[in-house]
Amino acid sequence: MIPLIIIGAPRSGSTFFTTAINRHPQIFVTNELRAWNVVANIADRLRKPSEMLPEHPLRNAYAKSVIKSLVDNIREFYAQEVNKTNLGCPVLSEQHYYRRVAVFGDKNPGYADANNNGCLDLMIEALPEAKFIHVYRDPRSCITSYLKLPIYSDDIDVTIKNWLRHTEPAIALGDKLLDDRFMSVRYEDFVSKKGLSIADRLVAFLGVDGRPEIRDFLEMERAQRTPYRAPVTPIEKLGGTSFKEHLTPEQIKMIQDKCGPIMKRLGYA
């Protein structure tokens, strides 16, 4: 099975994206299991001599052995769980049990969080065959959501930094990897008619069978939107851009001033 890691700033549509690709019976991607955070945290502690693991001629060899065991454990865990769950997603049917999975993985914005330094590098090293997908969205829309949700902040400067610290490492990762290992998906395109061609590129990128499930899901969602993951946008406006209705001109200018180079890189005016 090919490992797949999905990253993207919070509120960028990565949950919707993960739900969509999980419609394909050969794909099994959990939503923020965060298993790799565990491995990264342990690996970080093993790299630094401590009272529990002091300097020793075999310390580095032991550390590598522990990390390899944890990576093998993740592979085994996913292989065992593949046919026991539909991932808790209401749009997945019983056909997703007893299937031949070719791609497994996890979606988690935190993997690309600059505060979680080293996690992406660890996955690249430990999983040389892994593929990565970056789902991104206009920062003005993301920050509108941050400001509305208590779990983030009502300080716009803090929310801007939150978007940047998830997005900049993801872009840097794409610059580092070849096209056969890294793919970027613009949320606004994925929920539009362009989503059908993106679905075809995804199937080719992941090397799974050219089945219609992802395309069918996108067609269904364009006809009748389904809210995912604590939406703050009215259902009738899901998939659209409505930040101008919620942000002041001063807030919009502040976002554009601080995020401008990245916005330009991602194709936002």
What one-character DSSP code corresponds to residue 97?
S
Listed residue (229, 192, 195) closest to 16, CA to CA = 229
pLDDT on residue 50: 80
In a domain, 253, yes or no: no
- Comparing CA positions, the residue from 158, 115, 154, 159 lying closest to residue 140 is 159
User: What CATH number should be reported for the domain holding residue 181?
Assistant: 3.40.50.300
> 238, 225 in Cβ contact below 8 A?
yes
One-letter amino acid of 177: L
Inside any domain, residue 240: no
Residue 26, both tokens: 């050969």
Contact call for residues 177 and 71 (beta carbons, < 8 A): no
- Statement: the pTM of the whole predicted model exceeds 0.95: no
* Any domain includes 118: yes
Q: Which two tokens stand for residue 153?
A: 């902040």
Q: Among residues 1, 210, 39, which one has the least CA distance to residue 118?
A: 39
Question: For residue range 50-61, what is the model confidence (pLDDT) as tens digits?
Answer: 877 888 888 889
By CB atoms closer than 10 A (0-12, 13-18, 19+), residue 70 is middle
Give domain status of residue 221, yes or no: yes
- Residue 46's contacts (CB-CB under 8 Å, 6 or more residues apart) are 53, 62, 63, 66, 67
pLDDT in tens, 158-205: 999 999 999 999 999 999 998 999 999 999 999 999 999 999 999 999
Instruction: Flag whether 266 is in a domain.
Output: no
Sheet holding 27-31, edge to edge: 27-31, 103-107, 2-7, 131-136, 182-186
SS3 55: coil
**How many domains does the chain contain in total?**
1
Instruction: Provide the domain limits for residue 10.
Output: 2-137+163-233
Q: Is residue 190 part of a domain?
A: yes
- Is there a domain that residue 54 lies in? yes
Q: Cα–Cα distance between 64 and 43 in angstroms, integer? A: 8
Residue 217's contacts (CB-CB under 8 Å, 6 or more residues apart) are 19, 20, 23, 91
Residue 14 CA to residue 26 CA, distance in Å, equals 19
Residue 209 included in any domain: yes
Tell me the range of 36-40, 46-50, 135-139, 149-153 where mean pLDDT is highest. Answer: 135-139
Q: Quick: pLDDT tens for 219-262.
A: 999 888 776 766 655 555 555 667 888 889 999 999 999 999 99
Per-residue pLDDT tens digits for 52-93 = 788 888 888 988 999 999 999 999 999 998 877 767 666 666
Where is 103: in which H helix or E strand?
strand 103-107
